[in-house]
Amino acid sequence: MSLPHNRARPTGISFVDSSKLQVCHNLRIIRHQVFKGTEKRRKGTMGWFYGFKLHLIINDRGALSQSK
């Protein structure tokens, strides 16, 4: 996923954060069909989940520089 619009210019100081985007509960993985083939089981700080990881880079003013 990429957000090409409204990106801020780098100011020299950046902060990186990642967050989980859980698609469904672990017990429903077998029946899940919406994102079939693009999502997978991943490990986060709070254990395993099924979905995507969102990575954000913001500058020191709080403006979004990059996402992945």
Quote the pLDDT of residue 33: 67
Please, which pLDDT band fits residue 7 given cuts at 50, 70 and 90? low
pLDDT in tens, 9-35: 667 788 888 887 777 777 776 666 666
H or E segment and range at residue 17: strand 14-24
Share of the chain above pLDDT 70, in %: 66
Range with lowest mean pLDDT among 1-15, 21-35, 40-54: 1-15
What are the structural domain ranges in the chain? 14-67
Which sign, positive or negative, has the C-alpha torsion 56, 17, 47, 42? positive
Structure-block tokens of residue 42? 């991943």
